[in-house]
Chain A
Amino acid sequence: MATHDFAAQASHAHEAPQGFIRKWVFSLDHKVIGLQYYFLALAAVFVGMFLSLLMRIHLIWPGAALPILGEIKPETYLTLVTMHGTIMVFFVLTTAPQGGFGNYFLPIQIGAPDMAFPVLNMLSFWTTLLGFIVMIAAFFVAGGAPLHGWTGYAPLSALQSAGPGEGLGADLWIISIAIFCIGALMGALNFITTTLDMRAKGMTMMRMPLTVWAWFVTAILGLLAFGVLLSAGILLLMDRNLGTSFFVPLGTINGQLTGHKGGSPLLWQHLFWFFGHPEVYIAILPAMGMCSQLLSVFSRKPIFGYKAMVYAILAIGFLGFMVWGHHMFMSGMSPYTAFAFSVMTMAIGVPSAIKTFNWLGTLMRGKIRFSSPMLFAIGFVSLFVSGGISGPFLAQPVLDIPLHDTYFVPGHFHLIMGVASIFGIFAATYYWFPKMFGRMMNESMARWHFWFSLIGTYAIFMPMHYLGMAGMPRRYSQMTEVAYLHDLIPLQKFITYAAFITIAGQLIFLVNLFWSMFKGPKASDNPWEATTLEWITTTPPPHDNFGGHTPVVHNGPYEYSVPGAPRDYVMQNDPEIKPAH
């Protein structure tokens, strides 16, 4: 395979732009685009978090009148649920790890001057931003944002009269997601091409950092998954506005015939989850890659089982497309199909377990430095385990009978897909901030942020498992109407208080981020003494990443504590090592 193509690279070595607009706004530079994605995700995560704060307040003080916003009505609660989930999944968990860090560091880590298609890269960011603006616009149209949940199950999402927010707000919601899909597809093409064609000389596939592997496989998942969601979204728009009946069968709403017939609500679920389950891995794989990277760097040890880690990423990516039915055990899908999906789902637990073992193996006999990126990487492992072990409960259809659509499910996916991924994003932020901004972040603020986040998220999401076992259904705006739920209100109160404290802790991060950007101590080129190619170039990297030359790679990405080496790390472009062992 051609790993070094001068002709191809020459065409990408576009001139460094001079004007502000070309440099920082409509930039073709993957590093600027990476930062644009990152700040988009940062804005989105605070919107999403604010929505969750309102949800938590409404759950325990249903009648409370809030300043400016007034009283939150039950339907408004469902709007918050919907928009929180949608914004977090698409504009945070998909945007920051892949669009943000992937864009910035994938080309540098493989020794390329830019992405394969810089113009396409710029377009994918601006498309994603447009998607976000359309999503936010849904709050401000007549009827407000939709209430059908981030999963948008038809017919609830397909009928304008199904509830408040199911008018224009729901159309905007679908259009926003469709736009997002287009941006994600362009990005995926770019990532795949770049990884395959733009690697520096000597950067064989098996010398790529695990972050690159994770971004690469994530891009393949995105390419296969977002196309399906895009099609499903277009069909749903047609059902809503053109009188087609893909997802709506003969029926009535509020005693009125809907005018549809012959559609299948389960078809939407199959299409949605064909995207939706790989999406879970789109969110978590980059975090897994970052965590693997950081555990090795800060344990000063090669990653335990590099090949096994690569195969595990590939296995997760492959199996990730065969398990979507486990979201539908109670949907009316054939119970035989459910059984097949269940076996596949249990199988996907195996590569995840392999990764966990290897992370622990990496720590063992290491020499661990507790810098802030490492704290979040360790936190990631803990959360990944905690969120992971509830998976085999939900993967068994028999146990889905009591647990499906209860709080056990949000408890599970928030720990593993939500907070674990967010910990990956935090770890990556603290790790790469010096390279991106040329300054170090404040370490003691970072530590406080870590403790608030780790203890806080456990305090929020662990009790949700208890609520789920006790039978508390999801997406209930109040617990007043069903008698057995009354006993669970104290636990809900505890979760809300924990959320207040955890959210307050996130402000420490925000302050640290912006304060350090301007006031942090200057960073050296390689402050963590790491081996991958982003640390051989200047801080911040020049426009073409390596200042006119292309690195040549001789070593694997995780050569730490090599016996006989002068330092305890060997850079990827150092002369090839022949370890004596």
Chain B
Amino acid sequence: MGLVLLIVIWLITFVSTYFFMAKTWWLPAGASAAAASIDHHFTVTYILMGFVFVAAQVSLGYLVWKYRDGGSSKKATYSHGNVTLEIVWTVLTTVLFVGMNLASSSIWASERFRPAGENAVHVEVTGMQFAWYFRYPGPDGKFGLTKPELEDASAGGEAALGLDANDPASKDDVVTGVMVVPVNREVEVILRAHDVIHSFYVPSMRFKQDAVPGLAIHMHFTPIQTGDYEIACAELCGLGHYKMHGMLKVVSQEEFDKWLAAREAEKQ
């Protein structure tokens, strides 16, 4: 029985580890400025914890086989433990766990403590059951007023957001169903939700943040590669959660300007 346990525990360990090492399923390719450092820290954590995982499982399998009751008259060793060892592994795990955490704090700080820079493109992202809307402030750089009592989800577009046409700042606001941003420029995202909590999740951008009713949450990311990227909702929001899907298009600055100008023209 000891040998079977050893084999099964080791096999489970090695098969599980193989699929991690082979990266058969892995993080999607990163396309934002932060992706490299986040992925690097993921890999560091993965190597350290992978080592702990394999070491603990291999020892477990070995110990149950090695110290099985083989029917000999030899007794088990009478020992209540070892205080020095307890202190050693307490200190080691504290250093490992807290150290890992501190090592990642600078990435977290640049993602969340620091606000977006002056030059950032501003996009307001609004979640509602079960769609994403994107709003650009237009040439005046100001978002117009929105009012909950004006919201009409079935009408879509500006009406879905409840844009107040009487506010001068709302005249040039552009509302779309696809998010378009220029490459290599920071994007400041202002996240809102109308009804329940949604979560704006763009795997390739290493971006995730809940959109919470009543809050306007300011976040930022910098896409570094053009292309189309999928947006998914990551917070349970109701029966259509699985289809609350959107697209992020990262284009060159010229294309972006042209696209935005065309939307402005449509509006007039």
Q: Are A481 and B245 in contact (CB under 8 A)?
A: yes
Interface centre among B5, B83, B111 (most CB of A within 10 A): B5
Please report which residues of chain A, range 253-271, place their CB below 8 angstroms from some CB of chain B when the two chains form the complex: 253-255, 257-258, 263-266
Contacts of A467 on B, CB cut-off 8 Å?
25
Q: Are A365 and B67 in contact (CB under 8 A)?
A: yes
Q: Are B195 and A396 in contact (CB under 8 A)?
A: no
Interface centre among B57, B85, B98, B148 (most CB of A within 10 A): B148
CA distance A481 to B16 in the complex (A): 29
CA distance A148 to B234 in the complex (A): 14
CA distance A149 to B199 in the complex (A): 15
Query: Given contacts A74-B242, A303-B81, A484-B203, could you give 7 more A-B pairs where the C-beta distance is less than 8 Å?
Result: A301-B76, A343-B98, A350-B97, A389-B52, A399-B42, A455-B12, A562-B78
Binary per-residue interface labels of chain B (124-160) against chain A in the complex, 1 for a CB within 8 Å, 0 otherwise: 0000010000000000000000001101111000000
CA distance A342 to B80 in the complex (A): 34
A229 within 8 A of B: no
Interface centre among A148, A251, A361, A455 (most CB of B within 10 A): A251
Q: Are B101 and A396 in contact (CB under 8 A)?
A: yes
CA distance A458 to B57 in the complex (A): 13
Partner of B214, one of A78, A249, A339, A364: A249
Binary per-residue interface labels of chain A (389-410) against chain B in the complex, 1 for a CB within 8 Å, 0 otherwise: 1101101111111101110000
Q: Are B239 and A147 in contact (CB under 8 A)?
A: yes
Partner of B76, one of A251, A366, A475, A479: A366
Contacts of B56 on A, CB cut-off 8 Å?
356, 360, 385, 389
A416 within 8 A of B: no
Contacts of A404 on B, CB cut-off 8 Å?
208, 234
Q: Are A147 and B238 in contact (CB under 8 A)?
A: yes
Binary per-residue interface labels of chain B (5-41) against chain A in the complex, 1 for a CB within 8 Å, 0 otherwise: 1001100100010011000111110000000001001
CA distance A160 to B245 in the complex (A): 24
A335 within 8 A of B: yes
Interface centre among B1, B197, B217 (most CB of A within 10 A): B197
Q: Are B76 and A299 in contact (CB under 8 A)?
A: yes
Q: Across the two chains, which residue of chain B brings its CB closest to A255?
A: B153
Please report which residues of chain B, range 81-105, place their CB below 8 angstroms from some CB of chain A when the two chains form the complex: 81-83, 85-86, 89-90, 93-94, 97-98, 100-101, 104-105
A523 within 8 A of B: no
B233 within 8 A of A: yes
Chain A proximity of B245: nearest CB distance (Å): 5
Interface segment out of the listed A39-47, A183-191, A207-215, A304-312: A304-312
CA distance A347 to B19 in the complex (A): 29
CA distance A87 to B245 in the complex (A): 30
Q: Across the two chains, which residue of chain B brings its CB closest to A369?
A: B69
Interface segment out of the listed B58-66, B181-189, B255-263: B58-66
Q: Are A402 and B101 in contact (CB under 8 A)?
A: no
Q: Are A162 and B196 in contact (CB under 8 A)?
A: yes
CA distance A390 to B5 in the complex (A): 23
B165 within 8 A of A: no
CA distance A270 to B113 in the complex (A): 21
**Interface set of B (CB-CB < 8 Å, partner A):** 1-2, 5, 8-9, 12, 16, 19-20, 24-28, 38, 41-42, 45-46, 49-50, 52-53, 56-57, 59-60, 63-64, 67-69, 74-83, 85-86, 89-90, 93-94, 97-98, 100-101, 104-105, 107-108, 111-113, 129, 148-149, 151-154, 162, 193-197, 199, 201, 203, 206-210, 212-215, 217, 230, 232-243, 245
Partner of B195, one of A252, A360, A365, A399: A252
A381 within 8 A of B: yes
Partner of A378, one of B41, B50, B60, B108: B60
Can you list 7 A-B pairs with a CB-CB distance of less than 8 A? A78-B241, A248-B213, A363-B60, A368-B68, A385-B57, A399-B45, A404-B234
A131 within 8 A of B: no
Q: Are B235 and A153 in contact (CB under 8 A)?
A: yes
Contacts of A244 on B, CB cut-off 8 Å?
none
Q: Are B208 and A402 in contact (CB under 8 A)?
A: yes
Q: Are A484 and B28 in contact (CB under 8 A)?
A: yes
Chain A proximity of B9: nearest CB distance (Å): 6
Q: Are B80 and A305 in contact (CB under 8 A)?
A: yes
Contacts of B240 on A, CB cut-off 8 Å?
74
Number of A residues with CB within 8 Å of any CB on chain B = 118
CA distance A382 to B16 in the complex (A): 13
Contacts of A469 on B, CB cut-off 8 Å?
25-27
CA distance A486 to B63 in the complex (A): 42
Chain B proximity of A144: nearest CB distance (Å): 12
A35 within 8 A of B: no
Chain A proximity of B54: nearest CB distance (Å): 10
Q: Are B78 and A255 in contact (CB under 8 A)?
A: no
A579 within 8 A of B: yes
Instruction: List 5 A-B pairs, minimum CB-CB distance, nearest first.
Output: A249-B214, A335-B112, A305-B81, A466-B25, A75-B239
Partner of A332, one of B28, B94, B196, B209: B209
Q: Are B38 and A401 in contact (CB under 8 A)?
A: yes
Contacts of A363 on B, CB cut-off 8 Å?
60, 63-64, 67
Binary per-residue interface labels of chain A (348-362) against chain B in the complex, 1 for a CB within 8 Å, 0 otherwise: 011001101110110
Q: Are B81 and A361 in contact (CB under 8 A)?
A: yes
Q: Are B28 and A470 in contact (CB under 8 A)?
A: yes
Chain A proximity of B161: nearest CB distance (Å): 11
Contacts of A163 on B, CB cut-off 8 Å?
238-239
Given A264-B214, A405-B235, A476-B241, A385:B53 Cβ within 8 A: yes
Partner of A484, one of B20, B41, B212, B230: B230
Q: Across the two chains, which residue of chain A brings its CB closest to B211?
A: A332
Q: Are A378 and B5 in contact (CB under 8 A)?
A: yes
Q: Are B28 and A301 in contact (CB under 8 A)?
A: no
Given A354-B90, A386-B53, A478-B242, A346:B214 Cβ within 8 A: no
Contacts of B203 on A, CB cut-off 8 Å?
402, 471, 484
Q: Are B57 and A368 in contact (CB under 8 A)?
A: no
Partner of B59, one of A299, A343, A360, A484: A360
Contacts of B209 on A, CB cut-off 8 Å?
330, 332
Partner of B230, one of A73, A153, A482: A482
Q: Across the two chains, which residue of chain A brings its CB closest to B203?
A: A471
Chain A proximity of B75: nearest CB distance (Å): 5
CA distance A308 to B86 in the complex (A): 7
Q: Are A482 and B16 in contact (CB under 8 A)?
A: no
Partner of B78, one of A74, A475, A561: A561
Chain A proximity of B106: nearest CB distance (Å): 9
Interface centre among B56, B69, B149, B152 (most CB of A within 10 A): B56
Q: Are A265 and B86 in contact (CB under 8 A)?
A: no
Chain A proximity of B17: nearest CB distance (Å): 10
Q: Are B154 and A255 in contact (CB under 8 A)?
A: yes
Given A163-B238, A253-B196, A389-B53, A365:B79 Cβ within 8 A: yes
CA distance A330 to B162 in the complex (A): 26
Partner of B81, one of A306, A480, A491, A581: A306
CA distance A467 to B28 in the complex (A): 11
CA distance A385 to B50 in the complex (A): 11
Q: Are A360 and B63 in contact (CB under 8 A)?
A: yes
